[in-house]
Structure 1
């Protein structure tokens, strides 16, 4: 049947925040099957003229593309294509993508250094080719109705929710996965049965057979763990700095103002300092979230970076009142649930950037997952040493951790034994849960026993298979199979909620491939994480930041908020979530919530933010059709 043009425009309206600078629709001419319509909402970043408007066609009208993202090395790819005889009418990267696909087909992906989600209709072959970037910085969701042969795709679920034929019933398997693993973005699942996610580094081909659509999908990129390097630490640090510097240089390409998101941690500080070292700090603005709780505030580290670089700083102070005020809109943009107030703080940082006229922001995401920046990776290293029978090294690592952090490392003898003797499966499962390695069947808080029993047989791996040690495989999994992808989802939704674009220099694939070739000792040893990174940035980033032993990020003081001024609101949000989930929830769940929110200083360890955002997100999607 012909494409519903009114439905397509309704879907595009749901994406106006992602592209406030223009709208375009292309419809396959002729009226015969297959019926194809491509739409686009434009956020002008490169070539602000009408020549770069989308959907964009080749001169012979064989190919047409709709595309979200940036190809940072478009200048170099354009030069290569021009040498092959390709002619250009615009100065941006969209036309480069289109000609690259025409010249090299799907292999064009290997030439791109960027973040992207795009689809190209090929009239001659009657195919739709679509792809996502290597780490999944840019989203791609789709729906396929086998009964009618209808296929639709969009950057966000809410656009698909505007199409009445898309099934928006809750996917219980996806809900269980999120409750256990804490993420969905590494899989093809979404919370809605009728909506799928094209995973990071995947491409799909939709082919018209003459009667129906044939859909095929495959991974097009991955880190080769068999590729190793024995570079000494000092040489590896020098190479790290070279690649990182070039990645920053490429990501500063823009025809609109560029700034940074600055938390005061090592990674975001390195981005700002490297921009300054390149001589590009003039006119730069940095945006940060401050916390009223001194133990959570990184203001002094932010101030040190701003003093060194001369960059203009702007700050926002998250509060319980603002959280309550923005929560429905915030969750509508996030769509799927999130687990902490960090995402709320980031939301306010993106709003601050918009208020100050900065369209593009560079960020520091990805280094923690590739360089063992989180403390649980120390658990994994200990487990790896036990698995390898290196108990002397395990003892030395334990002593080094205690000396560096002034506290014993919380890993029991049972944990070491479990890795050393894999036959002790019960022990090993307990360690895996504690170390964050395996994500097998567990009973998530609040879910009914019957629901858990129905889905508890599913297992979610926590590390990839491969020829390398346990820590490297864990870092590889977290960087490419889910945990990082969840954080990138937050960044995309938060930035696009205010029509901002977020760029991640640490996710330059050249840097990632290099880092994964290095031995684990260059990343984590003697209780020190990110060893090669700290050495690479010595002299660039202030020593007071390089030598930090703590890690905060954007952590708002959630416990006193939830037990204090917004307690009744939190209970109301939890009741809404429980109502939406119905029989999936334990009967005594709300009693536990009310008890946990009573005054006290014990940690508030219930997944309240996850449940609250789940309830609001589901309600927001349902409202699209009202």
Structure 2
């Protein structure tokens, strides 16, 4: 796990690589690589790579980067981990390839030499990398299938730049800071910036599951090699009984956890009071991992309340013999950390606070790698959206076809709410948006709805941003490809391709790497998804309960039957109190998200602090 950067001047008239720019890009990401750094410039000065290292596999200097093949033809800068690298290495050796290190990075180089860009389909892991092929004079950029590792790039018409962080591209000094209305509008709609946009017009996110090749003519179009909708549509339905399906789920979980334990340092686990992380801990113990450390985050505000994760997490840790660390955060620490947190936040988001503090706790304990239960809700229907979105579509589809009815109802309800009618702000859009999959999902996941944006952003920016982003088309595109999908798999595709990818995974990257902690996600793995039963089977069998039964002994009933509360923070309350607003009973998550979104935007991106 590392930070990567690169510059490639593909046109002959382009200036040569500025070493100082590459150094500045590296320095902006220094927290990602506390174990080493490296720079490389090609002999002709037209290509340069930077690297910051967090050593996890092959801790020796043999794993240092940028790395080259013996003949000097290929050079790589790589961020991530390849969990099946031992198998790939054995296969390559059988084909005559030789190795001088024990690193997964060298496997990538040799795999590219053997298979070219088709190599990516063989990788089980999380990755973003750049490979320079001196013979072909091409630069290959690639990102893992589900988007665990980020990769940002910019093209000014003669030079391509890339990095693990968008802010690193800005720090180099050669990339425009002009704002991108599509990304800004996307953040206010979704609470995160939807790829491929960022909040800067000159910087794009390379979409998950794609490669990009840059040759003498410049960058081509990203080429997709993995699509979530297609993968879920192709899952085999063996017609097995429910016990057989439960065994299939258990086998997939154990296999994925086994692969995600591949490391030359100890692997810990982030433990909440929920099923997903508890199942990971129990599975680790069942696979024979000894001396496991489990880290649980608590908030002083939640002590004694159902939202407090610590007591149940302690029960689970004791059940599986883990050393348990409980890290409690209070408002004072949050306020002290907020400037550093916003600086580390690579793109604006309404989430990531939990991950920042649990990663901070892991770093304090000397932990470099931890498993997270992120992704299980997307696989196994753990969100209300799995019932709410299909119900909305099926109930309102016929009404949505009546021309103008939804817009008329929205304007009428918006006016009534302005006059004092107390309804949820999204209620006005139910008839207009709730009758199709994209609209119903937007209603479920949005922070603001499109008609509300003029209240918080410049109307001209909103108009341009909505035009370029086309949010409903953007959502619909996630389920447009592949074969026919049932209701469960449609929602699973939307949650995986949008919410998980653009918010949860991105937040895990910046928040974890800010503390030099690698977060691994065994439930976010295309091989794992392919091994599961199809969506209708998962929906019918209560898959979350099946996950709870994977460890031996199974998770206790106190965890299995606990009411789902989500992984919450008292940030909304802290923000209200800091602004002098009266203390409220309970937690209004919608209001808290809106308040936090505006605070993040104004403090971190609306002005000079965006640097």
TM-score range, shorter chain: 0.7 to 0.9
Taking the TM superposition and a 5 Å limit, the aligned residue runs for 1:307-318 are: 307-318=318-329
Partner of 2:214, secondary structure, is strand
Please name the residue that 1:593 is paired with: none
Closer, same or farther in 2 for the Cα pair 1:621/1:523, shift >3 Å?
A: farther
Closer, same or farther in 2 for the Cα pair 1:437/1:558, shift >3 Å?
A: closer
Closer, same or farther in 2 for the Cα pair 1:124/1:371, shift >3 Å?
A: same
What is the rounded CA distance, in whole Å, between the counterparts of 2:152 and 2:362 in structure 1?
27
The answer on 1:271 being equivalent to 2:280 is: yes
Give me the TM-score of the superposition, normalised by structure 1. 0.82
Q: How far apart are residue 610 of structure 1 and its match?
A: 1.4
Please name the residue that 1:190 is paired with: 198
Please name the residue that 2:384 is paired with: 375
Structure 1 window deviating more from structure 2 (466-475 vs 200-209): it is 466-475
The answer on 1:287 being equivalent to 2:295 is: yes
Partner of 2:100, secondary structure, is coil
The answer on 1:139 being equivalent to 2:123 is: no
CA distances 1:73-107 after superposition (whole Å, capped 9, x unpaired): 11111111111111111111000111011111111
Identify which of 483, 497, 502 aligns with 2:519: 502
What is the rounded CA distance, in whole Å, between the counterparts of 2:465 and 2:497 in structure 1?
25
What is the rounded CA distance, in whole Å, between the counterparts of 2:534 and 2:323 in structure 1?
36
Partner of 1:556, secondary structure, is coil
Please name the residue that 2:348 is paired with: 337
Please name the residue that 2:576 is paired with: 563
Whether the 8 Å contact between 2:41 and 2:48 is mirrored in structure 1 is yes
The answer on 1:459 being equivalent to 2:471 is: yes
Whether the 8 Å contact between 1:121 and 1:129 is mirrored in structure 2 is yes
What is the rounded CA distance, in whole Å, between the counterparts of 1:215 and 1:522 in structure 2?
39
Partner of 2:605, secondary structure, is helix
Please name the residue that 2:413 is paired with: none
Please name the residue that 2:539 is paired with: 523
What is the rounded CA distance, in whole Å, between the counterparts of 2:606 and 2:327 in structure 1?
28
Partner of 1:39, secondary structure, is strand
The answer on 1:29 being equivalent to 2:29 is: no
Whether the 8 Å contact between 2:283 and 2:550 is mirrored in structure 1 is no
The answer on 1:169 being equivalent to 2:178 is: yes
What is the rounded CA distance, in whole Å, between the counterparts of 1:612 and 1:96 in structure 2?
44
Q: How far apart are residue 363 of structure 1 and its match?
A: 0.6
Whether the 8 Å contact between 1:380 and 1:471 is mirrored in structure 2 is no
Q: How far apart are residue 529 of structure 1 and its match?
A: 6.7
Partner of 1:151, secondary structure, is strand
Q: How far apart are residue 422 of structure 1 and its match?
A: 4.9
Partner of 1:471, secondary structure, is helix
Please name the residue that 2:220 is paired with: 215
Report the number of matched residues: 548
Please name the residue that 1:588 is paired with: none
What is the rounded CA distance, in whole Å, between the counterparts of 2:257 and 2:140 in structure 1?
30
Partner of 1:361, secondary structure, is strand
CA distances 1:162-214 after superposition (whole Å, capped 9, x unpaired): 222201122112111111123324x21101111111011111000124xxx24
Partner of 2:370, secondary structure, is strand
Closer, same or farther in 2 for the Cα pair 1:51/1:249, shift >3 Å?
A: same
What is the rounded CA distance, in whole Å, between the counterparts of 2:464 and 2:97 in structure 1?
57
Whether the 8 Å contact between 1:262 and 1:286 is mirrored in structure 2 is yes
CA distances 1:414-470 after superposition (whole Å, capped 9, x unpaired): xx2x13555246225146656646878442352344543444453334451251123
Partner of 2:383, secondary structure, is coil
Partner of 1:253, secondary structure, is coil
What is the rounded CA distance, in whole Å, between the counterparts of 1:334 and 1:234 in structure 2?
44
Closer, same or farther in 2 for the Cα pair 1:453/1:89, shift >3 Å?
A: closer
Partner of 2:221, secondary structure, is strand
Closer, same or farther in 2 for the Cα pair 1:184/1:559, shift >3 Å?
A: closer
The answer on 1:547 being equivalent to 2:547 is: no
CA distances 1:589-614 after superposition (whole Å, capped 9, x unpaired): xxxxxxxx234437551512112222
Q: How far apart are residue 335 of structure 1 and its match?
A: 2.2
Please name the residue that 1:429 is paired with: 433
Closer, same or farther in 2 for the Cα pair 1:140/1:542, shift >3 Å?
A: same
Closer, same or farther in 2 for the Cα pair 1:603/1:547, shift >3 Å?
A: closer
Whether the 8 Å contact between 2:75 and 2:132 is mirrored in structure 1 is yes
What is the rounded CA distance, in whole Å, between the counterparts of 2:224 and 2:499 in structure 1?
14
What is the rounded CA distance, in whole Å, between the counterparts of 2:330 and 2:173 in structure 1?
38
Q: How far apart are residue 521 of structure 1 and its match?
A: 4.9
Structure 1 window deviating more from structure 2 (425-434 vs 113-122): it is 425-434
Q: How far apart are residue 332 of structure 1 and its match?
A: 1.0
The answer on 1:306 being equivalent to 2:339 is: no
Please name the residue that 1:319 is paired with: 330
Whether the 8 Å contact between 1:158 and 1:621 is mirrored in structure 2 is no
Whether the 8 Å contact between 2:211 and 2:224 is mirrored in structure 1 is yes
Closer, same or farther in 2 for the Cα pair 1:219/1:13, shift >3 Å?
A: same
Partner of 2:283, secondary structure, is helix
Whether the 8 Å contact between 2:310 and 2:326 is mirrored in structure 1 is no
Closer, same or farther in 2 for the Cα pair 1:529/1:449, shift >3 Å?
A: farther
Whether the 8 Å contact between 2:279 and 2:550 is mirrored in structure 1 is no
Closer, same or farther in 2 for the Cα pair 1:602/1:24, shift >3 Å?
A: closer
Please name the residue that 1:86 is paired with: 97
Q: Which runs of 5+ in 1 are unaligned?
A: 388-415, 569-596
Closer, same or farther in 2 for the Cα pair 1:383/1:233, shift >3 Å?
A: farther
